[in-house]
Amino acid sequence: MMNKGESQNRWRGVTTIALMFLMSCFFSTRTGQPSPASANAPEAEFSSARAMSILVEIASQAHPPGSPEHERVRGYLVDRLTTLGFDPEIQTSTSSFQRRTMARTATVRNVIARLPGTASTGAILITAHYDSRGLAVGAGDDGTGVVSILETLRAIQAGPPLRNDVIVLFTDAEELGLLGARAFVNEHRWMEDIQLVLSFEMRGGGGPVIMVETAEDNGWIIDALQASDQYPFANAMAYEVYQRMPNDTDFTPFKEAGKQGLNFAAIDKGHVYHQQYDTPENLSESTLQHHGLHALHVLRYLGDQDLVNVNAPDVVYFSMPGLGLFVYQVTWVKWISAGLIILFILALLVMHRSSVRLSGALIGAGISIVGASLSFGFALLLLNWLPRFHPEAGSLQGSLYHREGWYVIALTAAAFTIVTGLHALARKWLSIQQLALGALVVPFVGAILLGYIAPLAAMNLEWPVAAALMSVFWVTVMGERTTEMLGWSLAILFSVPVLSFFVPVAELLWIAMTFEFAPWLAVFIAIGFYLCLPALDSVLHSNSWWAPTGGVIAVGAALGFGILNSQTTAERPAPSTLVYAYEHGTPEAFWATTPVLDTLDLPAREWAIERTGSAFGLMRDLSVFGYDFGEVPAAVAPVVDAPEPVIIIETDITIGDIRRVIIGVRSRIGSERLRFQYDPAEDTRLISINGTVINNPEELTWADHWGMPAPMVYLELEVPAGDPISFDIIEHLLRPEELLGPEVFSRPDYLAPDIIRESDRAMLLYRFQEPQETTEANSR
């Protein structure tokens, strides 16, 4: 008969895994989001249902700058603000950014309004962008930000008036390079009044809304966030990441201008990011409610604060589900690092006095490195093997696959299998004290280094390492002097801080970096398991191999479910490409699509053949049309009867050896984008667009303009005196059905336009060549 102690040992391993799983669920980023609020919610509260009713109006069709739908959405926003009692204005400007060989400009139209405060100490700007990208409907990016602000303003006005002014800014052309925000920062008269900026963004369609970014000296604004936000989700690691990566939002120009503030964004369900199916139906209403609660509570709090001084030394901050936001001074980081060093030294001394060989700890460190390396290798193999099942691989911008969760579970199970399997082998020769302390070496060194290199991110390793050191310390000092149950309970307790940091950080790393980050994510997960090694030691009861075996089964099951869910459906459409190219004055036009690389691409190719009636037996390089994908499969297409762009020479002046000409250009087909290019080897140089000076005309190969010009796009060109002007104008129409008919681009629901390959556009090339007699006449 089995006695009570044997029965407890038998189930202790299963109980350990069950408890760690439940704790992981509790600390997950998917835990603790607010529930949606109905349309009957109190007037002074935020209602996702009310906001959603606005969103379906804004995000019914794609609305990139220059499209008729873009104009309609702008008009709708003006009407909504007017209904709320504002006096909105439109800021129209040409905004630009440049790189070495290209320049981008846009005619931006920002929607701006102001709510006066009762005794303002400075203005709070609340902002989101109303344009969408390309063919994207833009419900998440950034319809959620826009409607969250509108519903917040309505709720604010239903309550007592605020002390401080509130400026509302719906920016244009964020997707083209933050052009609307830059125009406001550089030109608008209210810029000098702004003390704080609240920016609302989205990179996906769900998940918690994270406070992802502040400016330098964030101590004051983080204290305000802690005091006001009922559902905080923030981690200072994001600030460190943003400082080191080229990630930009509309918050960036304000931060560069020295403004303090908070930048909020949700990044889960990344497969809808910038896609045609970024629709209200694919948006989590809980995420919208979270967005709105951030906006309302923070704005209501800041609206009544003294904003004369909104900067204070940087602080470390992180949130915990149900516990709120934790904040402490950066100076504590070095003290915590010093404490970790003392704890580590004490652990070594105690282990030495307990006659535990320290050489075993070094071996344990080596085993942990092997375990992390094997986890990396498995993830790398997985990363190279899985694309054969996913036609969407490489065509999404916010994730690698439509559904990645099962593969992350497989990574976790594989890391668990490797860690527990190596541990079971090593326990034949080494003690738990040696293995646990050895496993701490790498994360301990990492925590100390982070304290100096990236102090605002260090807490994500410092506190887990501290908990793991305490666990090792307890096992070494009290391991033989206490009951097994108490030792096991404390090991589980010490794993709580590890999981509370590692679970949400691992999820955020995956969601932010996509499954392409899998090898390093696997290493991070393995380190998390190693920090819980005293608790995982109990999985050896009563058989050392049941846990690794179970892990292998879990890996296979997760991969199986992931692959089964890779099948193309309406919820997981495969990418497909069809574009049209025509040069005015020539007898031929072309369809183009993408190459067939494997059988996964066949449905998209069959659709393109069925739509055009052509087999795509040609290969063409369409770079002259601004379609920079090299040679692509092409087929002869019908020539459309489309008018050429309007071209007017406004001025023509020759001074000395230089001739300068200003030419006005306007599309007569309503194209969203006008691209201008010329051969740098020739003498034509583009000097400015709509008065915006080109910094490097000698190196420039192309420039483009987005948006509805007012009334034309004016190009200032320079050539040697007596030489003719010549350059290409390419019109990109993102509503090709207006020229070619709606049936050509209609698709079954299991296919979607490939946004990476710039599908579903008509590209019309016009070569402007000035007649020689005109040049001679002007030179005289």
Residue 4 CB neighbour total at 10 angstroms = 7
Nearest to 33 by CA among 231, 214, 210: 231
DSSP secondary structure of 584-606: TTSS-EEEE-----SGGGHHHHH
Instruction: Say if domain 48-320 classifies as CATH 3.20.20.70.
Output: no
- Cα–Cα distance measured from residue 42 to residue 165, given in angstroms and rounded to the nearest whole number: 24
DSSP secondary structure of 745-769: T---TTEEE-TTTT-SEEEEEEEEE
Specify the 3-state DSSP secondary structure of 637: strand
pTM of the model: 0.94
C-alpha distances (whole Å) from 538 to each of 222, 414, 489, 541, 722 are 41, 19, 11, 6, 88
Q: Which residues of the chain are modeled with pLDDT < 50?
A: 1-7
Nearest to 465 by CA among 407, 531, 402, 525: 531
| Helices marked H in 261-330 | 285-302
In DSSP terms, which residues pair with 738 in a beta bridge? Answer: none
Q: Which residue has the tokens 């701006």?
A: 112
Residue 51 CB neighbour total at 10 angstroms = 27
- Cα–Cα distance measured from residue 658 to residue 106, given in angstroms and rounded to the nearest whole number: 28
pLDDT given at position 3: 47
- Cα–Cα distance measured from residue 15 to residue 671, given in angstroms and rounded to the nearest whole number: 63
Answer yes or no: are the C-beta atoms of 756 and 274 closer than 8 Å. Answer: no
Answer yes or no: are the C-beta atoms of 646 and 670 closer than 8 Å. Answer: no
- Cα–Cα distance measured from residue 136 to residue 271, given in angstroms and rounded to the nearest whole number: 12
- Cα–Cα distance measured from residue 214 to residue 197, given in angstroms and rounded to the nearest whole number: 9
- Cα–Cα distance measured from residue 452 to residue 491, given in angstroms and rounded to the nearest whole number: 30
Task: Establish whether the linkage from the previous residue to 142 is cis, with ω within 30° of 0.
Answer: yes
Q: Which residue has the tokens 């440049």?
A: 98
| Angle of helix 405-426 versus helix 358-385 axis, rounded to 10 | 150
CB-count burial class (<10 Å; 0-12, 13-18, 19+) for 332:
middle
Nearest to 86 by CA among 153, 149, 155, 147: 153
Q: Which residue has the tokens 């599908």?
A: 759
HSE-CB for 739 with a 13 A CA cutoff? 26
Answer yes or no: are the C-beta atoms of 281 and 251 closer than 8 Å. Answer: no
Specify the 3-state DSSP secondary structure of 452: helix
How is residue 281 annotated by DSSP? G
pLDDT given at position 699: 87
Residue 279 CB neighbour total at 10 angstroms = 20
- Strand-strand pairing, 673-677 and 102-115: unpaired
- Cα–Cα distance measured from residue 184 to residue 110, given in angstroms and rounded to the nearest whole number: 8
Residue 396 CB neighbour total at 10 angstroms = 22
Specify the 3-state DSSP secondary structure of 413: helix
How is residue 161 annotated by DSSP? P
pLDDT given at position 8: 54
- Cα–Cα distance measured from residue 588 to residue 636, given in angstroms and rounded to the nearest whole number: 7
- Cα–Cα distance measured from residue 565 to residue 560, given in angstroms and rounded to the nearest whole number: 9
Torsion angle defined by CA atoms of residues 478, 482, 484 and 486, in that order, rounded to the nearest 10 degrees:
-90
- Cα–Cα distance measured from residue 289 to residue 35, given in angstroms and rounded to the nearest whole number: 7
Buried-state track 127-165, b at ≥16 Cβ within 10 A, e below 16? bbbbbbbbbbbbbbbbbbbbbbbbbbbbbbbeeeebbbb
- Cα–Cα distance measured from residue 240 to residue 452, given in angstroms and rounded to the nearest whole number: 12
Answer yes or no: are the C-beta atoms of 534 and 436 closer than 8 Å. Answer: yes
Task: Establish whether the linkage from the previous residue to 60 is cis, with ω within 30° of 0.
Answer: no
Nearest to 740 by CA among 755, 761, 758, 757: 761
Answer yes or no: are the C-beta atoms of 81 and 168 closer than 8 Å. Answer: yes
E strand residue ranges, 458-600 = 574-576, 579-583, 589-592
- Cα–Cα distance measured from residue 33 to residue 702, given in angstroms and rounded to the nearest whole number: 46
> Where do the structural domains in the chain lie, given as residue ranges?
4-28+338-564, 48-320, 574-780
E strand residue ranges, 624-760 = 631-637, 646-655, 658-666, 673-677, 685-689, 692-693, 702-706, 713-720, 726-733, 751-753
Buried-state track 640-659, b at ≥16 Cβ within 10 A, e below 16? eebeebeeeeeebebeeeeb
Q: Which residue has the tokens 């931006």?
A: 108
Nearest to 499 by CA among 18, 25, 13, 9: 25
How is residue 498 annotated by DSSP? H
The backbone region for 316, taken as left when phi is positive above 0, alpha when psi lies in -120 to 50, beta otherwise, is beta
> Could you report the per-residue pLDDT of 378-433, keeping only the tens digit for each?
999 999 999 999 999 999 999 999 999 999 999 999 999 999 999 999 998 998 88
- Cα–Cα distance measured from residue 232 to residue 249, given in angstroms and rounded to the nearest whole number: 20
